[in-house]
Structure 1
Amino acid sequence: MRNKILQSTIATLAFMTSIHASAQTQEVDLSGTWGFQTDFMDFRRGSLDVRYMHRLQETITLPGITDDYQIGYKSPYRHLDRLTRKYEYMGPAWYQREMTIPAEWNGKRIFMYFERTHWLSSIYVDTKEVSKIDYISVPHNHELTDFVKPGTKHLITICIDNRYQYDTHKWNHAHTEFSQINWNGILGEMKLVAVDPVYVEDMQLYPDVVRKTVKIKMKIKNHTQKEITGKAIFSISGEQYKLSKELPVSGSDEVIDFEGEIQLGKDAKLWDEFHPNLYTAVCSLQTNDDKACYQHEKSTTFGMREVTQGKNHILINNTPIHLRGTVGNAVFPKTGYAPVDDASWERIFTILKNHGMNHVRFHSWCPTKAAFRMADKLGVYLEVEMPMWGKDGENNNESRFNFFRRELKGILKEYGNHPSFILYCNGNEISGDFDFVEELTRTGRESDNRRLFSGSTARKRVQSDQFYVTHQTPKGGATVYDGKPFTDWDIKKGTDIDVPVISHETGQRCAYPNFKEIALYKDCPVEARNFEIFQESLAQNGMLDLADDFSKASGAQTVFEYKDVIEAQLRTSTSAGFQLLSINDLPEQGYSPVGILDPFWNSKGLITPEDFKKFCAPTVALLRFKKRVYYHDETFTGNAEVYNYSTASLKNATVKWQITDAEGKVLKSGNLKGSGIGNHGVFPVGTFSYALPKNDKAQKLTVKLTINKNIENNWDIWVYPRHKEWMISTDEVLYTKIYDEKAKNHLKAGKKVVLIPQPNKVKGRRSAFHNHFWNPIMFKWAPMTLGCLIHAGHPVFKEFITEKHLDWQWWDILTNAKVIKMVDTPNEFRPFIQTIDSYDSNHKLGIGFEAKVNSGKLLVLAMDTQKNMENRPASQQLLQSIDSYVKSEHFDPKVEINESFIESFMIK
């Protein structure tokens, strides 16, 4: 083991009183060195009697996980479909300390508290198992009162078993190897706690934002077996706010249900994403019976906010909101587990808000306390789920069902006071017994009215649903996976149902991996060994030098796809919001580089937060138009809208449009109506038109909308001259659709041939404009490609404006093309329109290429040149650029290929 493991020693704990000693609550910090031993075969449990009073043979430092100390099976494998855990451990592991329970704790209730562990924790006092808890989502709080004696030394042994305790789906993000690892250990706070026998076991606060009151519901444990009386003194504090109120308490039951209400006054501030005003409520419980006095203090943070269901939107404090969010998939490669510290979550949520977002859905898992604290602080709306996925609803497995029942209640109890926790869903894409799903949802609604509840994402509805996260409703599509070559569309029909609809896992367009990220995993419990496989495959196919270009070109396409996907969501006035599959890459179930951030939440250099906020923010300028590609004698018409879910309407706003050329010169500009731009919706602000400039050259123009100078958005359009003729042969250049004897003879004569076969006459893959969905390992459907690398510096594109990546002017070309497999060509042979293959195969693919064949010069473009060409200006312009090129002295291919390669992909 590493030198982090200290020499074996069993320490007797030093007693430390907590800050709140006056409240008679005392704590001992349990972090530090513990005895440790693995138990792969699970022999120790069940035979822990006097023979096993010996001390464990290793040591470990807690909080921590076994991976930190290279404990377990050293994996030699390179998993293709996920990151590879360096040291795998699944089974019971034992942690041990000898400790003296302070004599001052006599008469108190004694607990051992672990903030988060994985999955089952069992406590043994000396030789006896005294408590076990199997929560996944909430802390484990073991009561040891009846099993330890104050003033006595005990051997405390903890068994943590991270095996699956129930027959649950192996993909849920709470304990899968596919995102956060299935770690073994204890994280966060770990402590012994002693409280008086009368204490507040649970305190839940229910704000009323209209009356400016907060109702307090408490469960008070009374272990005296006597009548107790006393008072609960509530202190509520916030920024420049303090209030105290005393309420009487009495009862003789073992559990006393207490309810009280406190008027906060007109100065109480509400909580939302823009004004995350927080309050701390402290209850000082002071009680007595006929013999003794008892004290206990309980505190919680809360916000004055109310969540209700509107027709299409979720309402916060009776105001419609629109959720701009991402799915949190428990991706934490740096540690292997979800952070338990505030700083890590503050960083994540700050990055999220810097990109204009206000929401996270925690997909099939519940985050740690720190996530709720920081979401409260920063104003981020959370949807929380249990570790429930797919078939977890099937087979009427009562032990598994009971686990989910306990988990639901635990989540609502532990995190219920957090104002950021606005939505609860049982889990992801559940199948099976929907009576059980309804039971869970109804139970949530009946027990907690502070948030909205839903049965499952993207599957069958249940009666108690108050919102619905889905890709499809009975009325139509309810999410957006890719953009279109025009913007005059939305998903209003599919999202206008009886509950607010949030678009499920929006986007999901896969980019090519960035192999430079391999180095980021150096000090992590996981490694990107799958990247090594992909990289080796690319090298074997002779294209390793293109790795960075592939990553940047496909990543650039991801960015403008996200722009279109998000704008379509914003244009949809009936949408309650959207959740991107992931704003950061998702290294699971095949590895999905779908984000603009890497798995560590670092920028991939594709877009700045400032530019992302141009189309994802509380206020966004939107533009509807019919197409992106025009002839130069046409007119561009745009219908401008403003998406506004900011804090206020935009009265007398200045709304300006302008069209600029590639050099930034303003060709035309104008103003639109700025009055009447309301709030909490999408508002039309006018239409404008522009007669496009006639030019015999291709042009790329930019249309920009500006609101009050500080809010802007822009869209590129392409303008082409009309061409009456294309593919005109000369004595020197032969245009042909077939590779026949005439073409062969032309090449043998040292002349030029341009072969543009119809796609149905070409063996190869279907051409697609969009990158593959999610990832090509998980979904094997055709065409398995990730966009194109355009060799934009090639002179063939002199008259066709393009970047190295696809953009919307390529839509028509790619939609009417065929992808040729070029595996058997020389390494130095590169198509100028190079299709990027999936990273698990890395074949050389292309749509357009040039080569020396026999004594002649050949250019091939596998594109349809017959169908509706009069309405395909971009395709015409590409042909024009090719024509100018092949008829010039610049057409001089350097790489020679065999004629048999041409014949191999042509269908006779």
Structure 2
Amino acid sequence: MIATINLDGVWEFQLDGEKQGRRLPMNDTIALPGTTSLARKGEPNEAAHADCLTDEYAFEGWAWYAREFEVPAELAHASAMLYLERTRVTTVWIDGQELGSQNSLCAPHVYSLTNRLTPGAHTITIRVDNTDYPTKGGHMTSRDTQTNWNGITGRIELQFLGEAHVEDIATYPNVESRTVTVKGRLIGAKEAQLTVSAVSFNAAREHAPEARAYAIKAGEFELAYPLGEEALLWSEWEPNLYKLRLEVTQGDSTADIHEETFGLREFKAEGGAFTINGAKTFLRGKHDGLIFPLTGFAPTSVEEWLRVLEIAKSYGINHYRFHTCCPPEAAFEAADRLGIYMEPELPFWGTVTDETYDNHNEAEQRYLIEEGYRMLRAFGNHPSFVMMSLGNELWGSKERIDGILKDYKAFDSRPLYTQGSNNFQWVPVILEHEDFFCGVRFSKERLFRGSYAMCDAPQGHVQTGPQGTMIDYDDQIIPPSQPDSSAADGHTGGGEIQIQYGTEAKTVQADAAEGVIVPQVPVISHEIGQYQTYPDFNEIAKYTGPLKARNFELFRQRLADKGLDHLAEQFHAHSGRVAVEAYKEELEAAFRTKHLAGFQLLDLQDFSGQGTALVGVLDAFMDSKGLISPEEWRTFCSDAVLLARFATYNYAAGERFEAALQLRYMRPEPLQGFTLSWELTADGERLAAGEAVASAGGAGDFVEIGRIGFDMPDVPMMTRTTLSMRIEGTDIRKSYDLWIYPSGVAVDKSGVKVFEDLTDEAAALLEQGGRIVVIPDPNRLTNAIEGTYCVDFWCYPMFRSISESMNKPVPVGTMGLLIDHEHPAFGHFASEPHATEPWRRIVSHSRSIILDGTDKELQPIVQTIDNFERNHKLGMMFECKVGAGSLLVCAVDAMLAGESTEGRQFLHSLFEYAKSEAFRPRAELELAKVRELIR
């Protein structure tokens, strides 16, 4: 390239929602790059979406953009191109002459202007259409994520090339030979000299290989440029980069200069693992749907992507999977610099068909296939572009999908390819030409994720209640030798099945099950997590751009209408604490699994759409929600994770504690003869301690450090302890909370009037000023919500609707507990204001009574946090004055809860409180109202 003319600035502008055509003179102006919404053009949008953010100036249709530019005389006869970095469907005119149209959603639009420009002034007109796409576009066009914007973002420029120049440059690094193969085309000359040079950057030291000159001829060329033995490799640990310079000369003059960034790396699938330059890596992935709430579109500046990716990396992330979208070049450039492994995806979420399907849409599929080629041409030189997916949760023709993979691999062998993310959900298959598999199961029982929606049940172990840290997925990924008799969802043959499809249900054709899948490629667990937190309404003020959080405003009003708005911040904080602990177990289960090659979180940040899924420990802006620090998160999401494997979090005094200590080590440097120190502490006092010595040989090592065992000390009261581990001289550490319960604790009801219902006898006692406890049978309560420990999956409104449409059980939809932990009822049951492991079995055998309409003074002792759609006031345990008497209600199955150590301790504390003088409720309810509630 010999020159550019920047077309940023003020353009003439006209909206044309009805597609009537441009009217002259144009009646407005707009700053480009940008979007109509960012510029606040058009009529304000009065809608208030509950399921996603609301674009305040949403516009769909044609928008016209025009401006004049000057061409210097010395450039008028050069080869020229118009470059539009990112836009929608464009049609371009120069001086009224139409150049044509382009419709890529993922790659730049480049128009040839050669022989169309003369010296002096010219007018360019661009029509951008954000309707009638060749495909739905996934998260490239969804209002759930970056919105269906209209405009042009990123670079808008005229690019001028020398008469002789190179194009279609592709770089193929070869780690073994320390060379880079350069492929391209010479245009505008029969032959020329190409001088190749390179210099390192983003590296601890500079390396500049000797420049080499090559004679090339018109058309395609290929050359191998040696980097030398001192060449620097690119990886997540050392993201060394090179700037490659290609200088085209004819005679003694330089005709053109082309520059590319590349990294010398080899990212491979070897057996069941990924390797980078021969060293194993474990993918700690994050989902990304291009959510940027301040603009409504993905940024095109490297600085903004560096900010975003550096935040993710501070939480241990080394991999990004882009859900049905491809980010702009700046994202790849930032990932190059930081050592992030990128996986863009075709903008497709649907059915891939061939001529045997009734709904075969060849035009759409040809478009999508070509879109993939455009992505590879545009971004394939970036060392961070190591993987590529054909779409999200695809169905249809396995043969057609495999054929597309085969063709892509023949075209560009640099990235690894997968058929898609969680394809053929209930009837998965590994295709011949895919390099890795991304899914959630290999059959109905072979699950390798910790959480699932109710419509996708069975649910995962994080939801159904592990009492310890023993779960891994090794047997689910590589099954025992005996045949697996359970086909997916009971389907042993073809036919129609119902699946979750986006935010709806869909009936699809299932091929016959093809036997037991034993993967021979790396396996990645798809969209793990999805643990929801209650909204933080303080976030509303942050939406200062075109996107407004009217969904949050609606949720806040719903909460206020139920009289619970004073609890909003507590709901957010305490649901978040349970979500964080769920993520910790989810991620550790992945790290405990030797046959798993990585995971892809959904998500580290909140997802603004699809019902409003607040599933992140970061908000949609990638800002912390105050739930956990990045340093603490990295103790269970990093390239070195300590693990303790033990059976339960709850122990009676004198009970034996045993744990296997392990290290999942993914750093390249060996860790020889390290010392692991561990201790059990409570309130600063050391209760037990020890050391172990082991070694880690380098990346990919799974170290069995050893076992520890000791008898839990005698304690006078329920005690929360912390088991801490640390590898001396490193940042590698881990901690777990464990609870010890005093021996000899009995559930003593003597002196307490206990009823299963508010009988006439109970009512009479209350009338006489008595004190009673009602422990109703949870299974008989009708005005109540089922007890569940884990927070809701994704978001209640979306999956309630999907479950109903599929005739599947509706999710419980609750989000942890708000506990009055300083209440005297917990005098013998140590508690936090949020749910912790001692509550798991108790909550699982409970229901929470719906207390809607009761006075604000009636604050449950244990309140279950409901979702933002229902906002019920839910009391698992509450007390009130009824007439002259005092009533304590606890909707827990005492028999089942009492089978556990922690359940007995809870009931003991409950009844001791009921006997005490501290049992003096303040809130008052009429007897008739109480009977209405406990029905």
Return the match for 1:713 from 731, 734, 742: 734
CA shift, 1:714, in A, is 0.6
Q: Which residue is 2:473 aligned to?
A: 491
Counterpart of 1:472 in 2: which secondary structure? coil
2:115 is equivalent to residue 86 of structure 1: no
Tell me which residue corresponds to 1:12: none
Question: 2:834 matched to 1:857?
Answer: no
Contact 1:510 1:774 in 2 (8 A): yes
Alignment of structure 1 residues 36-55 onto 2, 5 Å? 36-44=13-21, 54-55=24-25
The answer to which of 189-198 and 72-81 deviates more is: 189-198
Alignment partner of 1:66 is 2:36: yes
* 1:506 has 2:540 as partner: no
> What is the match of residue 689 of structure 2?
669
1:232 maps to 194
Aligned counterpart for 1:525 among listed residues 541, 546, 569: 546
CA contact (8 A) 1:550 1:836 kept: yes
Q: Report what 2:920 is aligned to.
A: 892
- Percent same amino acid at aligned positions? 33
CA contact (8 A) 1:441 1:455 kept: yes
- Give the Cα–Cα distance (whole angstroms) in 2 for the partners of residues 676 and 42 of structure 1: 65
Q: 2:352, 2:397 within 8 Å by CA — same for their partners in 1?
A: no
Q: How does 1:282-297 map to 2 (within 5 A)?
A: 282-287=245-250, 295-297=255-257
Deviation at 1:678, TM superposition (A): 5.1
Question: What are the equivalent positions in structure 2 for 1:265-284 lying under 5 Å apart?
Answer: 265-284=228-247
The 3-state SS of whatever aligns with 1:778 is helix
Q: Is the 8 A contact 1:65 1:185 kept in 2?
A: yes
SS of 1:867 mapped into structure 2? helix
Hey, what's the Cα distance between the residues in 1 that align with 2:535 and 2:416?
38
Aligned partner of 2:658 among 625, 631, 637:
637
Between the aligned partners of 1:103 and 1:435, the Cα distance in structure 2 is 55
TM superposition shift of 1:771: 0.6
| Pairwise CA distance, 1:564 | 1.1
What SS does the corresponding residue of 1:518 show, helix, strand or coil?
Answer: helix
Query: Conserved in 2, the CA contact under 8 Å of 1:653 and 1:707?
Result: yes
Q: Structure 2 vs 1, CA of residues 868 and 851 (structure 1 numbering), >3 Å: closer, same or farther?
A: closer
Partner amino acid, structure 2, of 1:893: P
Q: CA deviation at 1:761?
A: 2.3
State yes or no: 1:191 paired with 2:219: no
Separation in structure 1 between the aligned mates of residue 34 and residue 403 of structure 2, nearest angstrom: 37
Tell me, yes or no, if the aligned pair for 1:231 and 1:246 is still in contact at 8 Å: no
Which of these residues, 292, 312, 318, is aligned with residue 352 of structure 1? 312
The answer (yes or no) to whether the contact 2:273–2:597 under 8 Å persists in 1 is yes
Of stretches 634-643 and 391-400 in structure 1, the one that deviates more from structure 2 is 391-400
Within-5 A mapping of 1:198-277: 198-222=164-188, 228-238=190-200, 239-252=205-218, 256-277=219-240
Within 5 A, what are the aligned runs for 1:413-432? Answer: 413-432=377-396
Secondary structure of the 1:326 match is strand
1:574 aligns with 2:595: yes
Q: Does 1:162 align with 2:126?
A: no
Distance 1:709 1:746, change over 3 A: farther
Contact residue 110 and residue 195 of structure 1 kept, 8 A:
yes
Mark the CA change 1:704 to 1:525 in structure 2 (over 3 Å): closer, same or farther.
Answer: same
Give the match's secondary structure for 1:385. coil
Of 733-742 and 449-458, the range deviating more from structure 2 = 733-742
Letter in 2 for 1:141: V
- Partners of 2:187 and 2:830 lie apart in 1 by 74
**Residue type of the partner of 1:514?**
D
Counterpart of 1:473, as a letter, is F
1:786 partner SS: coil
Tell me, yes or no, if the aligned pair for 2:194 and 2:216 is still in contact at 8 Å.
no
Q: Are 2:819 and 2:862, in contact at CA under 8 Å, matched by a contact in 1?
A: yes
After superposition, the C-alpha distances for 1:93-120 in whole angstroms (9 at most, x for unaligned) are: 1111123433323432221111111x11
TM superposition shift of 1:709: 4.5
Match of 1:736 in 2: 755
Alignment of 1:377-416 (within 5 A): 377-391=337-351, 395-416=359-380
Segments of 5+ residues of structure 1 without an aligned counterpart are 1-22, 46-51
SS in 2 for 1:537: helix
Q: Deviations over 1:247-305 (max 9, x none)?
A: 444445xxx110101121110011100010101111112247xxx97712111111110
The Cα of 1:416 is off from its aligned counterpart by: 0.8
Shift of 1:149: 3.3
Number of the residue aligned with 2:102: 133
Cα RMSD after superposing both structures: 1.8
2:268 to 285, 308, 315: 308
What CA deviation, in whole Å up to 9, does each residue of 1:143-202 have, x standing for no partner?
1224x2312533221111111422426xx1111111112111111111111213432121
1:143–1:294: structure 2 CA closer, same or farther, 3 Å change rule?
A: farther
Q: Which structure 2 residues correspond to residues 674-693 of structure 1 after superposition, within 5 A?
A: 674-675=694-695, 679-693=699-713
Query: Could you say which residue in structure 2 is the equivalent of 1:559?
Result: 580
Letter in 2 for 1:138: A
Deviation of 1:676 after TM superposition, in Å, equals 5.3
How many angstroms apart in 2 are the aligned matches of 1:535 and 1:906? 28
The answer to whether structure 1 residue 372 and structure 2 residue 372 are counterparts is: no
**Contact persistence 1:453–1:465 (CA under 8 A):** yes
CA contact (8 A) 2:279 2:699 kept: no
Instruction: Tell me how far apart the structure 2 counterparts of residues 309 and 445 of structure 1 sit (CA, whole Å).
Output: 14
Of 679, 691, 694, the residue aligned with 2:714 is 694
Secondary structure, in 3 states, of the residue corresponding to 1:674?
strand
- Check if 1:327 corresponds to 2:287: yes
Give 2:903's match in structure 1, choosing from 866, 871, 875.
875
Matches of 1:745 and 1:848 in 2, distance apart?
Answer: 22
Residue identity matched to 2:77: G
CA distance in 1 between counterparts of 2:658 and 2:296 reads 51
Q: Which residue of 2 aligns with 1:538?
A: 559
The answer to whether the 8 A contact 2:192-2:217 is kept is no
Task: For 1:806, give the aligned amino acid.
Answer: A
CA distance in 2, matches of 1:446, 1:515: 51
Q: Retained in 2: the 8 A contact 1:848–1:859? A: yes
Confirm or deny that 1:616 pairs with 2:637.
Answer: yes
The residue aligned with 2:509 is none
Post-superposition shift, 1:245?
3.8
Q: Secondary structure at the match of 2:173?
A: strand
CA distance in structure 1 between the partners assigned to 2:785 and 2:136 by the alignment: 39
**AA partner of residue 738 (structure 1):** D
Is 1:625 matched with 2:646? yes
- The more displaced of 62-71 and 810-819 is 62-71
How many residue pairs get aligned? The number is 858
Q: What amino acid is the match of 1:102?
A: P
Unpaired segments ≥5 residues, structure 2 = 452-460, 479-518, 801-809
Cα shift readout 1:599-647 (whole Å, capped 9, x = no counterpart): 1111111111111111111111110000111111311111100110012
TM-aligned CA distance change 1:902 to 1:782, over 3 Å:
farther
- Equivalent residue letter for 1:157: T
User: Which secondary structure does the structure 1 equivalent of 2:747 belong to?
Assistant: coil
One-letter amino acid of the counterpart of residue 916, structure 2: S
State the distance in 2 between where 1:677 and 1:624 align. 22
Shift of 1:906: 4.3
State the TM-score, normalizing by the size of structure 2: 0.89
Q: Is the 8 A contact 1:249 1:258 kept in 2?
A: no
- Cα distance in 2 for partners of 1:601, 1:508 equals 16
8 Å contact kept, 1:334–1:524: yes
> How far apart in 1 are the matches of 2:765 and 2:330?
73
Say whether 1:766 aligns with 2:748: no
Distance 1:709-1:813 versus aligned 2 partners, 3 A rule: farther
1 CA distance for matches of 2:76 and 2:551?
57
- 3-state SS of 1:74 partner: coil
Query: Is the 1:100–1:150 contact (alpha carbons within 8 Å) kept by the matching residues of 2?
Result: no
